[in-house]
A and B are shown apart, each in its own frame.
Chain A
Amino acid sequence: MSHAVSIAQYIEHHLTHLAYNVKTSQWQDDGSFWVINVDSLFVAWVLGFSFLFLFRYVAKRVTSGTPGKGQNVVETLLDFVSGMVKESFHGECAVLAPLALTIFCWVFLMNFMDLLPIDLLPRLFGSVGIDHFKIVPTADPNITFGLSISVFLLIIFYNFKVKGGFGVLKESLTFPFGPWLFPINLMFRCVEELVKPFSLSLRLFGNMFAGELIFVLVAAMLPWWSQWMPAGAWAIFHILIITIQAFIFMMLTIVYLTMAHEQH
């Protein structure tokens, strides 16, 4: 970090998205709704397409005989995810397991971007004239809410699909306190459902944003020769966090969708 840039500027630089306003056609984040965080979406796409490409590549050459190295890795992942799904969900649902797999792999990869050196990609993009680039998509609430709201829509969809409109209404009015306290029941149900997307996305976003911020702070505040120690320790700890956060997002999705399928 050069001394020409102040600490505050450095930190702010690292917290600014590469944004494009669709309405005004300008590369500027003016706080309006019509802005796209190009960096978040770009990294998310690159990571998503790369793991989907890898999976498709393996799935096309899949053999029930002796598996190769790639197939081994993918199979282990699939086995792990389908085991998690089967453990809690005991019904027929073609979407749930692939959904859980996609969430786990994608969120893990997006979280993993946090472990890249904090200045590496911004410098690289900076050298070709792109002055802002946030590398961790899951430290952007748009990305985490995008995931959790999709899951939320699926929860609502399956609630109505399994129980029917009347079933959902009946369940909302009579559970958990019986029909005489139906206003309270309904309120409980609404809060319970609405909390789900927030709990999913804010947990992930909070962890990743805080994790990134600590790397930024280490890089901003400490002399260069001592940064390796706190940043290294945090990175090692962060390996655990990114895996756990990806796992929790997947697990909660499974649990929520299982609850949507269950009749009270």
Chain B
Amino acid sequence: MELALAVLVGVLTTCAVYLMLSGNMVRFIFALALLSNAVNLVIFAAGRLTYAAPPLIADGAKAPADTVANALPQALILTAIVIGFGLLAFTLVLVHRAHQTLGTVEADDMRVAEPASDDDEAR
């Protein structure tokens, strides 16, 4: 299963990078979602996959009785999901706003900060 999961991570990363290279900010948002999933899966798999109970301790016990799933990567991913969501929402608003102001969602047409120079035009 681990190796199969690694393949899935590879597919997600490839798709995300390809979308990000397109220069279309809408596709970029999709890519961001893909990439967060890929990263979460990497962290999850790095903590090892175990067919085991969730990391909960029975009432009255001092420690988990049996082997439980690795809690550490789970905690990392949980916040990562929420942060990723926040980032995605902010990016979405930014793209929306840029589209309202600049009238485009193509990154290479947004030249306010670094205006195209003359030799750019010549190329």
Whether A associates with B in a native complex is no
List residues of A whose CB falls within 8 A of some B CB.
Answer: none
Report B's interface with A, CB cutoff 8 A: none
